[in-house]
Amino acid sequence: MKIVVLSGGVGGARFLLGVREHASPAGHEITAVVNVGDDMWHAGVRIAPDLDSITYALAGVNDTERGWGRAGESERVSGELRAYGVGWPWFTLGDLDLGTHLARTHYLREGLGLSGATERITARWPLGATLIPSTDSEVETHVVTADGTLHFQEWWTRHRAAIPALGFEYRGAEEASPAPGVLDAIASADAILVAPSNPVVSIGPILAIPGIREALRDAAAPVVGVSPIIAGAVVRGMADACLTAIGVETSAAAVALHYGSRSAGGLLDAWLVDSSDAAELARVEAAGIRARAVPLWMTSPEVTADMVAAALVAAR
Ligand code: FO1
Protein backbone atom coordinates (compact mmCIF):
# COMPACT_ATOMS: atom_id res chain seq x y z
CA MET A 1 0.00 0.00 0.00
CA LYS A 2 1.25 3.49 -0.83
CA ILE A 3 0.50 6.17 1.76
CA VAL A 4 1.07 9.83 0.97
CA VAL A 5 1.08 12.35 3.80
CA LEU A 6 0.80 16.14 3.38
CA SER A 7 2.83 17.52 6.23
CA GLY A 8 4.23 20.51 8.05
CA GLY A 9 7.12 20.28 10.51
CA VAL A 10 6.87 19.41 14.19
CA GLY A 11 3.25 18.12 14.32
CA GLY A 12 3.71 16.45 10.95
CA ALA A 13 6.84 14.72 12.22
CA ARG A 14 4.97 13.30 15.20
CA PHE A 15 2.21 12.11 12.92
CA LEU A 16 4.73 10.50 10.55
CA LEU A 17 6.29 8.61 13.46
CA GLY A 18 2.85 7.07 13.95
CA VAL A 19 2.38 6.44 10.22
CA ARG A 20 5.71 4.61 10.17
CA GLU A 21 4.85 2.68 13.33
CA HIS A 22 1.61 1.52 11.72
CA ALA A 23 2.77 1.04 8.14
CA SER A 24 6.36 -0.22 8.20
CA PRO A 25 5.69 -3.69 9.70
CA ALA A 26 3.13 -4.24 6.92
CA GLY A 27 5.63 -3.07 4.28
CA HIS A 28 3.55 -0.06 3.25
CA GLU A 29 5.42 2.70 1.41
CA ILE A 30 5.28 6.18 2.96
CA THR A 31 5.85 9.41 1.05
CA ALA A 32 5.62 12.77 2.80
CA VAL A 33 4.97 15.88 0.71
CA VAL A 34 6.42 18.58 2.92
CA ASN A 35 5.75 22.31 3.31
CA VAL A 36 8.54 24.68 2.28
CA GLY A 37 6.79 27.95 3.25
CA ASP A 38 8.90 28.30 6.43
CA ASP A 39 12.13 28.07 4.41
CA MET A 40 14.56 30.94 4.02
CA TRP A 41 18.07 32.05 3.26
CA HIS A 42 19.79 32.98 6.51
CA ALA A 43 23.49 33.67 7.11
CA GLY A 44 24.28 32.37 3.64
CA VAL A 45 22.55 29.00 3.98
CA ARG A 46 19.17 27.63 2.93
CA ILE A 47 17.11 26.55 5.92
CA ALA A 48 14.16 24.17 5.52
CA PRO A 49 12.66 23.80 9.03
CA ASP A 50 9.83 21.39 8.17
CA LEU A 51 11.96 19.02 6.10
CA ASP A 52 14.58 19.04 8.85
CA SER A 53 12.12 18.56 11.72
CA ILE A 54 10.74 15.47 9.98
CA THR A 55 14.16 14.14 9.02
CA TYR A 56 15.54 14.51 12.54
CA ALA A 57 12.42 13.02 14.16
CA LEU A 58 12.31 9.96 11.87
CA ALA A 59 16.07 9.53 12.31
CA GLY A 60 15.63 9.75 16.11
CA VAL A 61 18.17 12.60 16.40
CA ASN A 62 15.72 15.43 17.14
CA ASP A 63 15.50 17.62 20.21
CA THR A 64 12.23 16.36 21.61
CA GLU A 65 11.96 19.09 24.25
CA ARG A 66 12.34 22.12 22.01
CA GLY A 67 10.49 20.41 19.18
CA TRP A 68 12.95 21.58 16.52
CA GLY A 69 16.64 21.03 15.78
CA ARG A 70 19.03 18.28 16.85
CA ALA A 71 19.41 16.62 20.24
CA GLY A 72 22.69 17.29 22.06
CA GLU A 73 23.12 20.51 20.11
CA SER A 74 25.71 23.25 20.71
CA GLU A 75 25.53 26.83 19.43
CA ARG A 76 29.13 27.96 19.00
CA VAL A 77 28.80 29.02 15.36
CA SER A 78 25.63 31.00 16.08
CA GLY A 79 27.53 32.92 18.78
CA GLU A 80 30.19 33.83 16.20
CA LEU A 81 27.59 34.89 13.64
CA ARG A 82 25.96 37.13 16.25
CA ALA A 83 29.34 38.72 16.99
CA TYR A 84 29.68 39.51 13.29
CA GLY A 85 26.13 40.84 13.14
CA VAL A 86 25.22 38.21 10.55
CA GLY A 87 21.67 36.87 10.44
CA TRP A 88 18.82 37.39 12.87
CA PRO A 89 20.13 37.41 16.47
CA TRP A 90 16.88 35.80 17.69
CA PHE A 91 17.19 32.88 15.26
CA THR A 92 19.68 30.31 16.47
CA LEU A 93 21.36 27.79 14.20
CA GLY A 94 22.72 24.86 16.16
CA ASP A 95 26.13 23.58 15.09
CA LEU A 96 24.88 20.13 14.06
CA ASP A 97 21.84 21.64 12.37
CA LEU A 98 24.12 24.04 10.52
CA GLY A 99 25.85 21.01 9.01
CA THR A 100 22.53 20.09 7.38
CA HIS A 101 22.05 23.63 6.04
CA LEU A 102 25.59 23.70 4.66
CA ALA A 103 25.04 20.33 2.97
CA ARG A 104 21.70 21.49 1.52
CA THR A 105 23.26 24.74 0.26
CA HIS A 106 26.12 22.77 -1.30
CA TYR A 107 23.69 20.45 -3.11
CA LEU A 108 21.58 23.41 -4.26
CA ARG A 109 24.71 25.05 -5.67
CA GLU A 110 25.45 21.78 -7.49
CA GLY A 111 22.05 22.24 -9.14
CA LEU A 112 20.24 19.34 -7.49
CA GLY A 113 17.19 21.37 -6.55
CA LEU A 114 15.59 21.11 -3.10
CA SER A 115 14.13 17.68 -3.87
CA GLY A 116 17.53 16.35 -4.96
CA ALA A 117 19.20 17.95 -1.94
CA THR A 118 16.57 16.38 0.33
CA GLU A 119 17.15 12.98 -1.24
CA ARG A 120 20.89 13.27 -0.47
CA ILE A 121 20.35 14.55 3.07
CA THR A 122 17.76 11.94 4.00
CA ALA A 123 19.85 9.10 2.49
CA ARG A 124 22.06 9.40 5.56
CA TRP A 125 19.44 7.81 7.82
CA PRO A 126 17.02 4.89 7.39
CA LEU A 127 13.92 7.04 7.82
CA GLY A 128 11.35 4.51 6.63
CA ALA A 129 9.72 7.23 4.51
CA THR A 130 10.51 9.28 1.43
CA LEU A 131 10.44 13.04 1.95
CA ILE A 132 9.66 15.30 -0.99
CA PRO A 133 9.40 19.09 -0.70
CA SER A 134 6.15 20.38 -2.17
CA THR A 135 8.19 22.36 -4.70
CA ASP A 136 11.79 22.99 -5.72
CA SER A 137 10.98 26.68 -6.11
CA GLU A 138 11.53 29.18 -3.32
CA VAL A 139 8.02 29.65 -1.96
CA GLU A 140 8.05 31.55 1.33
CA THR A 141 5.16 32.47 3.60
CA HIS A 142 4.90 36.15 4.51
CA VAL A 143 2.53 37.54 7.11
CA VAL A 144 0.55 40.69 6.41
CA THR A 145 0.24 42.97 9.45
CA ALA A 146 -0.99 46.53 9.94
CA ASP A 147 2.66 47.69 9.78
CA GLY A 148 3.65 45.79 6.65
CA THR A 149 4.66 42.23 5.87
CA LEU A 150 7.11 39.98 7.69
CA HIS A 151 8.71 36.68 6.76
CA PHE A 152 6.81 33.90 8.54
CA GLN A 153 9.85 33.10 10.71
CA GLU A 154 10.06 36.67 11.97
CA TRP A 155 6.38 36.71 12.89
CA TRP A 156 6.40 33.22 14.40
CA THR A 157 9.78 32.85 16.06
CA ARG A 158 10.64 36.44 16.97
CA HIS A 159 7.18 37.81 17.73
CA ARG A 160 5.57 34.47 18.77
CA ALA A 161 2.60 35.29 16.50
CA ALA A 162 1.67 38.13 18.88
CA ILE A 163 1.35 40.76 16.12
CA PRO A 164 -2.18 40.45 14.73
CA ALA A 165 -2.00 38.88 11.28
CA LEU A 166 -4.30 40.29 8.61
CA GLY A 167 -3.47 37.58 6.11
CA PHE A 168 -0.79 35.35 4.62
CA GLU A 169 1.03 35.46 1.30
CA TYR A 170 2.67 32.38 -0.15
CA ARG A 171 5.26 34.32 -2.10
CA GLY A 172 6.45 32.62 -5.25
CA ALA A 173 3.69 30.01 -5.18
CA GLU A 174 1.95 31.19 -8.33
CA GLU A 175 5.04 30.66 -10.48
CA ALA A 176 6.05 27.44 -8.70
CA SER A 177 5.44 23.89 -9.83
CA PRO A 178 5.31 20.68 -7.80
CA ALA A 179 8.71 19.10 -7.10
CA PRO A 180 9.60 16.00 -9.12
CA GLY A 181 7.76 13.03 -7.66
CA VAL A 182 4.93 14.93 -5.98
CA LEU A 183 2.25 14.47 -8.62
CA ASP A 184 3.26 10.84 -9.28
CA ALA A 185 3.11 10.06 -5.56
CA ILE A 186 -0.38 11.56 -5.32
CA ALA A 187 -1.61 9.83 -8.47
CA SER A 188 -0.33 6.41 -7.45
CA ALA A 189 -1.28 6.62 -3.75
CA ASP A 190 -3.68 4.19 -2.11
CA ALA A 191 -4.40 6.60 0.72
CA ILE A 192 -3.65 10.29 1.17
CA LEU A 193 -3.48 11.64 4.71
CA VAL A 194 -3.45 15.30 5.71
CA ALA A 195 -1.36 15.52 8.90
CA PRO A 196 -2.67 17.51 11.89
CA SER A 197 -0.40 20.37 10.84
CA ASN A 198 -1.22 24.07 10.76
CA PRO A 199 -3.92 24.39 8.05
CA VAL A 200 -2.85 27.93 7.13
CA VAL A 201 0.94 28.04 7.18
CA SER A 202 1.82 24.34 6.76
CA ILE A 203 -0.85 22.72 4.58
CA GLY A 204 -1.95 26.01 2.95
CA PRO A 205 1.38 26.65 1.18
CA ILE A 206 1.43 23.05 -0.15
CA LEU A 207 -2.06 23.46 -1.64
CA ALA A 208 -1.03 26.82 -3.11
CA ILE A 209 1.45 25.20 -5.52
CA PRO A 210 -0.40 25.07 -8.85
CA GLY A 211 -1.15 21.47 -9.77
CA ILE A 212 -1.17 19.96 -6.27
CA ARG A 213 -4.78 20.76 -5.39
CA GLU A 214 -5.87 19.51 -8.81
CA ALA A 215 -3.86 16.30 -8.41
CA LEU A 216 -5.49 15.69 -5.03
CA ARG A 217 -8.92 16.29 -6.52
CA ASP A 218 -8.20 13.80 -9.32
CA ALA A 219 -6.47 11.19 -7.16
CA ALA A 220 -7.94 7.70 -7.10
CA ALA A 221 -7.04 7.43 -3.41
CA PRO A 222 -9.27 8.79 -0.66
CA VAL A 223 -8.04 11.88 1.18
CA VAL A 224 -8.38 11.76 4.97
CA GLY A 225 -7.47 14.65 7.24
CA VAL A 226 -6.70 14.67 10.95
CA SER A 227 -7.82 17.66 13.02
CA PRO A 228 -5.04 19.79 14.51
CA ILE A 229 -7.67 21.26 16.86
CA ILE A 230 -8.79 19.37 19.95
CA ALA A 231 -11.57 20.68 22.20
CA GLY A 232 -11.48 24.10 20.57
CA ALA A 233 -7.75 24.61 21.11
CA VAL A 234 -4.61 24.05 19.09
CA VAL A 235 -2.64 20.97 20.04
CA ARG A 236 0.67 22.84 19.73
CA GLY A 237 2.08 25.93 18.11
CA MET A 238 0.03 29.02 17.48
CA ALA A 239 -2.28 27.86 14.71
CA ASP A 240 -5.22 29.69 16.29
CA ALA A 241 -3.57 33.03 15.44
CA CYS A 242 -3.36 31.89 11.80
CA LEU A 243 -6.93 30.61 11.66
CA THR A 244 -8.30 33.82 13.17
CA ALA A 245 -6.45 35.84 10.53
CA ILE A 246 -8.22 34.01 7.72
CA GLY A 247 -11.59 34.10 9.48
CA VAL A 248 -11.78 30.43 10.44
CA GLU A 249 -12.90 29.60 13.98
CA THR A 250 -10.61 27.39 16.06
CA SER A 251 -12.63 24.19 16.01
CA ALA A 252 -12.22 20.77 14.45
CA ALA A 253 -15.33 21.22 12.32
CA ALA A 254 -14.38 24.69 11.07
CA VAL A 255 -11.00 23.43 9.86
CA ALA A 256 -12.68 20.54 8.01
CA LEU A 257 -15.07 22.99 6.36
CA HIS A 258 -12.13 25.24 5.50
CA TYR A 259 -10.50 22.32 3.63
CA GLY A 260 -13.88 21.42 2.13
CA SER A 261 -15.38 18.22 0.81
CA ARG A 262 -13.69 16.64 -2.21
CA SER A 263 -17.15 15.91 -3.61
CA ALA A 264 -17.71 19.71 -3.70
CA GLY A 265 -14.31 20.62 -5.14
CA GLY A 266 -12.45 20.71 -1.81
CA LEU A 267 -9.79 18.48 -0.30
CA LEU A 268 -11.34 15.91 2.03
CA ASP A 269 -13.23 12.64 1.77
CA ALA A 270 -12.98 12.00 5.49
CA TRP A 271 -11.95 13.82 8.68
CA LEU A 272 -10.91 12.60 12.10
CA VAL A 273 -11.78 14.65 15.15
CA ASP A 274 -10.78 13.90 18.73
CA SER A 275 -13.21 11.87 20.86
CA SER A 276 -13.86 15.02 22.92
CA ASP A 277 -15.13 16.74 19.74
CA ALA A 278 -17.71 14.08 18.82
CA ALA A 279 -20.42 16.77 18.98
CA GLU A 280 -18.85 18.32 15.84
CA LEU A 281 -19.25 15.20 13.68
CA ALA A 282 -22.71 16.13 12.39
CA ARG A 283 -21.51 19.53 11.12
CA VAL A 284 -18.66 17.90 9.21
CA GLU A 285 -20.89 15.15 7.79
CA ALA A 286 -23.43 17.77 6.70
CA ALA A 287 -20.69 19.28 4.53
CA GLY A 288 -20.26 15.95 2.71
CA ILE A 289 -17.15 14.82 4.61
CA ARG A 290 -17.22 11.42 6.40
CA ALA A 291 -16.26 12.09 10.00
CA ARG A 292 -15.09 9.85 12.85
CA ALA A 293 -14.16 10.63 16.46
CA VAL A 294 -11.08 8.86 17.86
CA PRO A 295 -8.36 9.83 20.36
CA LEU A 296 -6.04 12.29 18.59
CA TRP A 297 -3.41 13.09 21.24
CA MET A 298 -0.09 11.95 19.73
CA THR A 299 1.53 10.95 23.00
CA SER A 300 3.72 8.21 21.47
CA PRO A 301 4.29 6.62 18.05
CA GLU A 302 2.25 3.61 19.25
CA VAL A 303 -0.75 5.75 20.23
CA THR A 304 -0.41 7.76 17.00
CA ALA A 305 -0.31 4.48 15.03
CA ASP A 306 -3.83 3.70 16.30
CA MET A 307 -4.97 7.07 15.02
CA VAL A 308 -3.36 6.35 11.64
CA ALA A 309 -5.11 2.98 11.54
CA ALA A 310 -8.41 4.79 12.17
CA ALA A 311 -7.61 7.24 9.36
CA LEU A 312 -6.99 4.35 6.97
CA VAL A 313 -10.26 2.70 8.00
CA ALA A 314 -12.07 6.03 7.41
CA ALA A 315 -10.39 6.10 3.99
CA ARG A 316 -12.17 2.92 2.89
N1 FO1 B 1 12.47 28.27 16.64
C2 FO1 B 1 12.67 29.15 17.66
O3 FO1 B 1 11.74 29.39 18.43
N4 FO1 B 1 13.88 29.78 17.81
C5 FO1 B 1 14.93 29.53 17.00
O6 FO1 B 1 15.99 30.12 17.18
C7 FO1 B 1 14.74 28.57 15.94
C8 FO1 B 1 15.79 28.22 15.09
C9 FO1 B 1 15.58 27.24 14.10
C10 FO1 B 1 16.63 26.84 13.26
C11 FO1 B 1 16.44 25.88 12.31
C12 FO1 B 1 15.18 25.29 12.18
O13 FO1 B 1 14.99 24.33 11.25
C14 FO1 B 1 14.12 25.66 12.99
C15 FO1 B 1 14.31 26.64 13.96
N16 FO1 B 1 13.27 27.02 14.81
C17 FO1 B 1 13.47 27.95 15.80
C18 FO1 B 1 11.92 26.46 14.66
C19 FO1 B 1 11.13 27.15 13.55
O20 FO1 B 1 11.37 28.49 13.48
C21 FO1 B 1 9.59 27.08 13.66
O22 FO1 B 1 9.14 26.53 14.85
C23 FO1 B 1 9.01 26.37 12.51
O24 FO1 B 1 9.40 26.90 11.28
C25 FO1 B 1 7.47 26.39 12.58
O26 FO1 B 1 7.07 25.17 12.14
SS3 of residue 22 by DSSP? helix
SS3 of residue 245 by DSSP? helix
- Residue 275 CA, ligand 1 centroid: distance in Å: 31
Kindly report the CATH number assigned to the domain that includes residue 179.
3.40.50.10680
Contacts of 66 (CB under 8 A, 6+ apart): none
- Residue 68 CA, ligand 1 centroid: distance in Å: 6
CA atoms of 64 and 18, how far apart (whole Å): 15
Q: Is residue 162 part of a domain?
A: no
Q: Is residue 59 part of a domain?
A: yes
| Closest ligand 1 atom number to CA of residue 52 | 13
Question: What residue numbers bound the domain in which 309 lies?
Answer: 2-139+171-315
More confident residue, 14 or 236: 14
Q: How confident is the model at residue 316 (pLDDT cuts 50, 70, 90)?
A: confident
Average pLDDT over residues 33-51: 98
Question: In testing the pocket of ligand 1, which one of 91, 168, 203 has its CB within 8 Å of the most ligand atoms?
Answer: 91
Q: Is residue 278 part of a domain?
A: yes
Q: What are phi and psi of 125, to 5 degrees?
A: -125, 145
Q: Is residue 150 part of a domain?
A: no
Give whole-number Cα distances, 11 to 88, 120, 154, 269, in Å: 25, 24, 20, 21
- Residue 211 CA, ligand 1 centroid: distance in Å: 29
Q: Is residue 72 part of a domain?
A: yes
- Supply the pLDDT for residue 315: 87
Q: How confident is the model at residue 228 (pLDDT cuts 50, 70, 90)?
A: very high
Q: How confident is the model at residue 265 (pLDDT cuts 50, 70, 90)?
A: very high
- Supply the pLDDT for residue 87: 93
Residue 43 Cβ < 6 Å to ligand 1 = no
Nearest CA to ligand 1 atom 16: 68
Q: Is residue 43 part of a domain?
A: yes
Q: Is residue 135 part of a domain?
A: yes
pLDDT at residue 125 tops 90: yes
Give whole-number Cα distances, 228 to 26, 169, 216, 296, in Å: 26, 21, 20, 9
Nearest CA to ligand 1 atom 10: 93
Q: How confident is the model at residue 147 (pLDDT cuts 50, 70, 90)?
A: very high
Based on the structure, what is the number of domains in the chain?
1
Return the percentage of the chain with pLDDT > 70, whole number.
Answer: 100
Q: Is residue 232 part of a domain?
A: yes
Q: How confident is the model at residue 240 (pLDDT cuts 50, 70, 90)?
A: confident
CA atoms of 9 and 198, how far apart (whole Å): 9
